[in-house]
Chains A and B, each alone.
Chain A
Amino acid sequence: MTTMIGTLRRQAQTAPIFSAWIIFLLSLLVVGLISAARVLWVGLDVTNLSNTVPWGLWITVDLSAIALGAGAFSLSTIVYIFRVKSFAPIARIAVFVGFVGYTSAMLALVMDIGRPDRFWHPMVFWNVHSVLWEITMCVVFYSMVLVFELAPAVLESRIVVQRFPRGPKLAHFLHRFTPVVSVVGLGLSLLHQSSLGATYGVLVARPLWFKPSLPVLFILSAVAAGATVTLGLTVFYENLVRERQINTRLRNLLAAFAGLMMLAYLYLKLWDFLATSYYSHLPARANDSTLLESTTPYGVTFWWIEIILGALVPAIILLTPRLRRQDIWLVLAALLAMAGIIVNRWNVTLSGLVVPMDWSPGAAELFAVQKYTPTAPEWGVALGVLGYALLMLTLGLRYLPLFPKDDAHH
């Protein structure tokens, strides 16, 4: 006990900021654990979710975390399938961010389902007609792909090598299978990243959701934001350790890739808006949109956060050489893209749910627009998941060789 306190004191003296950061993250985790315990003990009654708005903050966390982890599959595809050597130094950090994103999403999902003890049921009781079944299977298998792709970094880390000297040899052995595994990972990712949008897009009863663009919007936004966040995190880390990890050429290539994907997303989003809300008039959809915009801040958040701040500004930063040369702009682009994704996933989820469905044949104004504000336990669990993600990123960047110095393996 005394030695532990001594170690902590030395740690606090030598690295006060790092210690404070870790304490902050641990307190987030404590908040998360207390909230999670309450949810598991009392049940989902502690949330503000209801029979009309059954999905809310946690589904947003889950969708956002998976989207922000999309850099893993897109950048590994470039490195391992298209064999673009210059992208190789970014592959590991991308896979690691993906791993953190997917595990965070699973934590949020386990809290969200009413029977966490049955999380495995979709894997045994298949309903191949369900988009959610397909997502579950893909996410489970893709997480295995991520573990496999991440294994070399863990096996080559100092902690492992000290206890298991043959780690790097095993890593080298595993690495030989990476191209095959990457192809599998690409297929799984394309499927479930799109299907998350299809979860909403296939529901015929909800006019705001029922459109074929949602799956494509989901995957494009995920690829764009995932790559932006991976790049932003890398640049932020370079500033922490005061050492460049990727060269200027790769940095420019990554920024251009992310920026172009962001433009593609914006283009599709523009035409999605034009085709469904400007050039066409489906009464059900028009009514729902009017209702939504008159009762919620949907319109403002859609244009200002999703489109301008969350996509257009990052795209401009990423595609302007003068801006992307400066670290601060790239970090800002990553933060904005992250906000854009989170607000988009929130807006998509809640827009379809708060607007009431119209099944009664009568003409009375029956159901009011629903309000949904997450409760303290819901925020608590979300903060806990955030704490987990940040702690994983911190520890990973500190203890894993995520930016390999030698190119022997690539």
Chain B
Amino acid sequence: MAEERFLTRREFITVVTAAGGSLAVALALSEIEPLQELIARELKLELPEVAREAAAQSGDARHRWGMLIDLRTCIGCQYCVYACQAVNDVPDDMRWNVYLPEVTQTGEPFHMTRPCLHCNDAPCVSVCPAQATYRRDDGLIIMDYDLCIGCRYCQVACPYDARSFNWKAREGASGYQPEWGNAEVERRPRGVAEKCTFCIHRIDRGLAQGLVPGVDRPATPACVNICPVQARIFGDLNDPASPVSQAIKSLPTFRLREDLGTEPNVYYVPPEGMAL
């Protein structure tokens, strides 16, 4: 009867000891400080420093950052593109902020530019399989480059082609530095997606210093600051007194592909001669 038994006592003890031993080694390893940091960063455990960082990343729900682009006044100089390339250290063959020469239905030329629209219901956020892109409480659609696995589903899903992928490792300086500005953010590694952030680093630092984004230049996106004709207005859409809210209230505006229900936070003033 004994040899019919599926597991002998000896085997049982071996298995239990091995499992217990592995657990003990794992617990011992997790006590080593450098490993602890690594585990915390990778798993976002509730360590004090990590928790604080996460709070800063969630944004302030009292604000909702938005932009107005006046297509009547834009002269197509592309300074907004160049400043963005320099400040965000975007590779020369990649664009966060896109310029397009366009015509109205009546054939009148106008100049179209497009940052990330920071949709309230962003398709890129809902498709990301790893929480690498998310919507902050202040409406900004943000990437966590440390979480991105590089599947590129966000690129496939974004209705506005606003996302770029790092196909290769970054080499050399940006062709737009230092004429149009200096890098203010870290370079992104090979293999992750990236996009316009509304210069989130300026907004967060500015708010901490008591500045008002969209009013005080150090707290305002580079593309807005550099525009020679002030075709771009930035600010808090939740604040009815902000310049951007005032402008949206007084001007005829539209948003890109409103039929998709993405609810962008970038508004456009149509060029002369364009039917809405």
Contacts and interface: CB of A to CB of B under 8 A. Distances in A.
A368 interface: no
A131 B127 CA distance: 6
A121 B112 contact: no
B38 to A, nearest CB: 13
B110 interface: yes
A43 B158 contact: no
Contacts of A114: 148-152, 165-166, 190-193
Given A55-B156, A359-B257, A113 B132 contact: no
A127 B159 contact: no
A390 to B, nearest CB: 27
B100 A361 contact: no
Interface in A337-393: 352-353, 357, 359-364, 366
B104 A203 contact: no
A113 B151 CA distance: 5
Interface string B70-111: 000000000000000000000000100000111111010010
A121 B101 CA distance: 40
A53 to B, nearest CB: 9
B270 interface: yes
A127 B167 contact: no
B191 A43 contact: yes
B82 to A, nearest CB: 20
A346 B101 CA distance: 33
Given A54-B156, A114-B149, A205-B257, A362 B131 contact: no
B256 A363 contact: no
B168 A42 contact: yes
B84 to A, nearest CB: 16
Given A51-B161, A54-B165, A366-B100, A136 B129 contact: yes
Contact of B190 (A43, A55, A362, A366): A43
A51 B101 contact: no
A173 interface: yes
Contact of A362 (B44, B102, B168, B169): B102
B147 A51 contact: no
B192 A133 contact: no
Contacts, number: 156
A126 B114 CA distance: 31
A130 B159 contact: no
Interface in B113-133: 114, 123, 125-132
A132 interface: yes
A129 interface: yes
B1 interface: no
Nearest to A358: B257
A125 B132 contact: yes
A149 to B, nearest CB: 20
A77 interface: no
Contacts of A363: 102-105, 107
Contacts of B125: 129
B6 A170 contact: yes
Contacts of B105: 363
Contacts of A55: 152, 156
A126 B103 contact: no
Contacts of A43: 166-169, 190-191
A352 B103 CA distance: 26
Interface in A190-213: 199, 202-205
Contact of B43 (A124, A135, A136, A357): A124
B164 A121 contact: no
Contact of B130 (A51, A54, A122, A131): A122
A353 B156 contact: yes
B159 A360 contact: no
Contacts of B104: 362-363
A119 interface: yes
A184 B193 CA distance: 35
Given A54-B165, A136-B129, A125 B147 contact: yes
Contacts of B101: 364
B172 to A, nearest CB: 15
A38 interface: no
A117 to B, nearest CB: 9
Nearest to B264: A359
B254 A361 contact: yes
A115 B102 contact: no
A338 B128 CA distance: 30
B256 A45 contact: no
B268 A361 contact: yes
A49 interface: yes
B191 A360 contact: no
A130 B149 contact: no
B155 interface: yes
Given A42-B168, A127-B130, A364-B102, A359 B6 contact: no
Contacts of B160: 357, 359
B131 to A, nearest CB: 4
Contact of B261 (A44, A129, A204, A362): A204
A118 interface: yes
B28 interface: no
Contact of B191 (A47, A54, A115, A121): A115
B19 to A, nearest CB: 18
A199 B107 CA distance: 38
A113 B169 CA distance: 15
A362 B110 contact: yes
Interface string A100-132: 000000000000111100110110111101111
Contacts of A281: none
Given A43-B190, A119-B149, A361-B270, A133 B129 contact: yes
5 contacts: A51-B155, A125-B130, A129-B125, A130-B128, A363-B107
Given A205-B159, A357-B161, A360-B112, 14 more contacts: A51-B155, A51-B164, A113-B150, A114-B166, A114-B192, A121-B129, A121-B149, A125-B147, A127-B128, A131-B127, A132-B127, A199-B153, A362-B112, A363-B105
Ranked nearest first, the 3 interchain pairs of A and B with the lowest CB-CB distance are A114-B150, A114-B191, A362-B102
